[in-house]
Structure formats: C-alpha cells, structure tokens
Amino acid sequence: MTHIRQAIIILLIAMLISTASATEVALKWVEVDVSPHKDGKATLVYKIRYQVLSGELHGFYFEGFNGATPYFDYDRSYAFDSAGRKYKLDITDLGGKYDIVLADDAGVSQGEVTYVIVYGASFVQAGMLGYTESEFGKLVYLNWSPTEWDLPAEHMTIYLHYPIEVQGKEISSEFLEKVGFRTEKFVNERYLISYYGQPDNNKYYFTVRFHKNNPPAKYNMRIQTYINAEYFDLPDTYQNVPTPQDEPLTEEPLSPSTDDSTDDWLPTASPSGPKVTSGLLIVLVLVGIAILLIRSKLGSYSKVAGKLDEVSWEKGEWIPPKIKVSSFRQQGKIAELDPIEAALLLGIPLAKIAGTIIAHMEHSGLVRVDSLNPLRLERLYPPGVAPENIYEDIILNAIRPGGNLDDAEMKALFEEMTDRIQAKAWDCDLEATKEFYRKQIEEQFNRVQQGEDLDSTYTSWGRSYSRYYPYYLYRNYIDQPEGRPNEIGKSFQERSSIGAKNYAAFIHSDACHSACYVHTACHDACHSACHSACHSACHSACHSACHSACVSGGAH
C-alpha cells in the first residue's frame, strides 16, 4: 500500500506541475489575405495574434483547408512578439493537420505573439472557385471559409484581393457594376464590408474587406462572392462545377464607400441567397445525399445529381447600406512605437533615419565609419555593448566584407519597420499617433538642449530609450542639417537605391514587398488531384458543414 500511495503522490505532483506549466492564451484576432489567381490557384496569408496569459507559448495546430492542399512558403512565414523579436517557424505535417511552432525551441512567456503563415492552394481543384451561369451572364464564384478557431477573438477579417487592376484606392459603385461583383445575401447580413484599391508594386488591385467583431469560438466566417468570368482563365477540367439556381438574380443600386480615407463600412450587393442556409437543413440535405449515394446500386449517379436540382435558391435583392461605422481605427488611440518607427510614420526620409541609426551605432561603439564617400563601415565588438534595437542588429548583419552595406538588407530593414508599424497601428488613430510622437521627440530634443546627456534615457510605454534617437530625429524632422547623422545619411542616400524616399513613397515603391504578400505567385508544386464528385455537385450546400469538422488552435 505504501508503494501505491507513493505512486499516487508522484502522479498528483506531476499533474500539478503539468497544470502549473500549462500554456494559457487569448486569441486577439485573425486576419486572412486571400488572393485568387486567374488560373484558379490562390495565395493565402494568415495573421494570427495570441496573447500569452500563463506558461510559455511555442505554437498551435493549424487545419481546415476545405480540401485544398496547402503548399507553405517556409521562407516568408514567420512570427514576431510584442518585444520586437522575430522568429522563424517550423511547420510539421501531422497528416493534414499542421503543427506551427517557433523555430529553435523558442517560446514566449509574456506579451503577444503574431504568427504570419503564407501558403498557396488550388481553389479551383477543391471546388471553391469556378464558373457558374446566371441571368447576368457567366460569373466566377468564390465559396470559401477560413479555418475555424477553438477560442473566441476580438475580430476576424478577410481581405479578398481580386486579380483586377484599378486606378487607385477609391472604388465606385460604377466600378462594382462594371466587374459584376455580387455576394450572397447571408454575407451582407453577417459582416461589415468595404471596398478599396490595394497598393502593390505601383499598381492597385480590387479588394473587398469582410470584418466580424467578437466572433465566438468555432466561428465559420464563410464568404460567397461572384464576379464577371472575363477576369479569370480557369482550366477546362474545372469549368463545369454546377451551382444550382432556379430563380433569376435581381439587382438594385447600391452606394459603396468611395472614400477609403474614412473607411466607411457598407454591405455589398447580393444576387441571391440559398433557402438551404440553416445548419439543420444543411445536415438534412447532406444526409439525403449520403443515403442516395449509399443506394447507388439501385440507380446511377446521374439520378443523385438530378435530385440536387430540387435545391432552390430564394430570390435575392440588392440590400441598401444599413451599417456605417468608422473602420477598425479607434479615435484617439495611440500606437506603441519606438522612436525609429515613429520617425518613419512622421515621414522623415529613409536616408536620414538610416543615418541616425548608423550614427548611434558609431556613438555606442558598435561600428566604425571608415569612409563617407563611399560609405564603408567596420563592425566592432566592444565588451558589454549590444544593439539597442532590432534595426541596429539588421544593419550589423548588412555589413559586407570591405564595409559596404548590402542594399537588399537595408531595404529589408525598412520592410521590417513597415511590418511592425502596421502590426502595432492597425486599429489606432494615425493622426493622433503622429502628433503624440512629434511632441515626444520634440520634448526629448528640448531636454538635451537644456543639458540632459544624449545617452540618458526616458521611458515610454514601459520601456527605456536613449535620448540620442529623438534628439537627432527631431533635428531631421525640423530640417536642421548639421550633425553626424545627417553626414552619414547623405552618404547613405548617394549609394543606396532607397534614396531619400519617405515612408509613404517607400510602401508604394517596387523596393517594398507587399505587407500582406498580395498577388505573389504561389508554389508551382500545386498538382492536379481529383475532388469528390459529390462535393463538386453540391459545394454550396455542404461546404460549411464539412468545414466545421476541422478547428485550428490548441496553443501549446
């Protein structure tokens, strides 16, 4: 009995230790960029933000691809935390379910972690994208859901980027009529919807944004949209996926937002909505189809498919705007930026920002500037001195033999900065944020003018920063040219293709990657695979019920 009691005690201790060290998280938000290609493949970018409540977060399980095999872009998938650290990801296939973890056994025990997962998939093979006929002519439908999550979230957002070029950020009702964009009625009822032109490499692409506030656990954010078929060139093999439709589509005028600066949310148009929309009816339809398939010996598949014609669609009408709110941005909310990121947001030219970073590294003993014409740096290794921020670390890694700065690495520095600003400021008041940091760097500038040491620190958002950065960044902001950072910045500008561009110019230039990897080619590894005849015959009825079987999450 003694041995049994000891065993029980050991087991209880092990359970207590396991419970104490268990990872507990909150799911902050999920955002998905979906870029269907003209050939029916698609690029997807999931952005998932967790907040660590206890234990140590390494990763989570990712599944629910609607029958479309994912081909991950391992190089461009990564994670970053609220302390500014960036991580590579290990993605392991567990048999259709993927374990997404921070590489090198890394873990985060406090703050927030954002995972960015990039992959390609063939939507057309999975029956989620295809042609359909309507009274408006031949259309291409998209019938898709992102993965469901095991936790509630503050919001979920889908950015649907069509391969259709537009003139700029504004989208008019005339443009929507021209391209024949429509949605199912349930889409209008469930989500906030807006339209805009997504910038990418000096071009703009038609984008529809679907937003859901406070989705519960296992929420299925299904979208079903239509657009004129002329914008796609789908393979012949997948051109005859039937979309049952007994009643004609009708339309009334709508008034979409034409001013992206205000980010007005408006419901979009709805050509028709299936009568079979409740979960119960979907299950009944599926059960009926299953029974017919099981009894296939008594009849051919054509008889089963014939039954699908009985699934009728109710007559849909265009819904006028009902909901109008002011985007994600919260009035007066300030983004938590460091001084360098604030400088970029304030529009200080990139060369001046780079010059300030390098001058601070020289000042602290991390590098020696061997030459200004051309700019050449030498890495130093002073004991006890480390880069003050991730941007100094990137520059150290950009120094090549001979002292040159690698141009691609320096572009990557500003791409990294852009990503971090977007991640931190997505729901903030940008004008209020700019004014806050303009005043902050001006205040620190004045403190140095009044006798504070350049190396002394100040506190912002619970972190300490050297006054060196705000002092010289403010000099650049008010265009006082003298000083070491300005000398280095001029030299950098002369030898870098980045030149004197500021933030606004940079994010619209071909030197910048698209922050959400919009309209990038997915892997050529996508190969043909047969999808279920049953699925292709009734995708609009069974899609959401099949999808609900797979739920991502399980943070660990």
What are the boundaries of each domain within the chain? 25-328+518-552, 348-501
DSSP sequence for 292-334: HHHTGGGS-HHHHHHHGGG--EEEP-PPPP----B-SPPTTPP
526 pLDDT higher than 50: no
533 pLDDT higher than 50: no
Handedness of CA 470, 472, 473, 479 (dihedral sign): positive
The rounded distance, in Å, linking the Cα atoms of 250 and 319 is 11
Q: Treating both helix axes as pointing N-terminal to C-terminal, what angle do 484-495 and 350-364 enclose, rounded to 10 degrees?
A: 120
149 and 63 in contact (C-beta within 8 Å)?
Answer: no
- Alpha-carbon dihedral angle through residues 535, 538, 541, 544, given to the nearest 10 degrees: 20
535 pLDDT higher than 50: no
Give the pLDDT score at 418.
82
Instruction: Give residue-wise pLDDT tens across range 301-311.
Output: 233 223 323 32
Global pTM exceeds 0.85 = no
Instruction: Categorize the per-residue pLDDT at 499 as very low, low, confident or very high, splitting at 50, 70 and 90.
Output: low
**Statement: 25-328+518-552 belongs to CATH 2.60.40.1730:** yes
Query: Nearest Cα to 308, choosing from 291, 294, 288?
Result: 288
Give the pLDDT score at 543.
34
Of 362 and 260, the one with more pLDDT = 362
Q: Which residues of 216-255 are buried (b: 16+ CB within 10 A; e: fewer)?
A: eeebbbbbbbbbbbeebebeeebeebbbbbeeebebeebe
90 pLDDT higher than 90: yes
State how beta strands 148-149 and 551-552 pair: parallel
The rounded distance, in Å, linking the Cα atoms of 250 and 247 is 9
Mean pLDDT for the stretch of residues 370-397: 89
Instruction: Give residue-wise pLDDT tens across range 101-122.
Output: 999 999 999 999 999 999 888 8
Element (H, E) at 379: strand 375-379
Order the strands of the 182-183 sheet from edge to edge. Answer: 129-134, 137-144, 223-228, 182-183
12 pLDDT higher than 60: no
245 pLDDT higher than 80: no
3-state secondary structure labels for all residues of 207-270? EEEEEEECCCCCCCCCEEEEEEHHHCCCCHHHCCCCCCCCCCCCCCCCCCCCCCCCCECCCCCC
Phi and psi angles of residue 191, each rounded to the nearest 5 degrees, phi first: -125, 160
Give the pLDDT score at 548.
36
Mean pLDDT for the stretch of residues 420-445: 88
297 pLDDT higher than 60: no
Element (H, E) at 58: none
Q: What value, to the nearest 5°, has the Cα angle with vertex 45 and ends 43 and 49?
A: 170
Give the pLDDT score at 500.
57
The 10 Å Cβ neighbour count of residue 452 is: 16
Query: Picking from 26-30, 227-231, 428-432, 457-461, which range would have the lowest pLDDT averaged per residue?
Result: 428-432
469 and 356 in contact (C-beta within 8 Å)?
Answer: yes
DSSP 532: P
Mean pLDDT for the stretch of residues 115-140: 90
257 pLDDT higher than 80: no
How many residues belong to the chain? 556
Please name the residues in contact with 276: beta carbons below 8 A apart, sequence gap of 6 or more.
282, 285, 311, 541
- Retrieve residue 73's tokens: 């872009």
Q: Where are the alpha helices (DSSP H) in 399-538?
A: 407-425, 430-449, 468-477, 484-495, 503-507, 533-537
Query: Nearest Cα to 485, choosing from 339, 337, 335?
Result: 339
Handedness of CA 516, 429, 465, 475 (dihedral sign): positive
Query: Picking from 81-85, 367-371, 431-435, which range would have the lowest pLDDT averaged per residue?
Result: 81-85
396 pLDDT higher than 80: yes
Phi and psi angles of residue 60, each rounded to the nearest 5 degrees, phi first: -155, 170
Residue with tokens 């100040």: 458
Give the pLDDT score at 113.
92
Give the pLDDT score at 397.
87
Question: Percent of the chain at pLDDT above 70?
Answer: 69
Query: Picking from 151-155, 185-189, 325-329, 552-556, which range would have the lowest pLDDT averaged per residue?
Result: 325-329
Strand partners, 25: 52
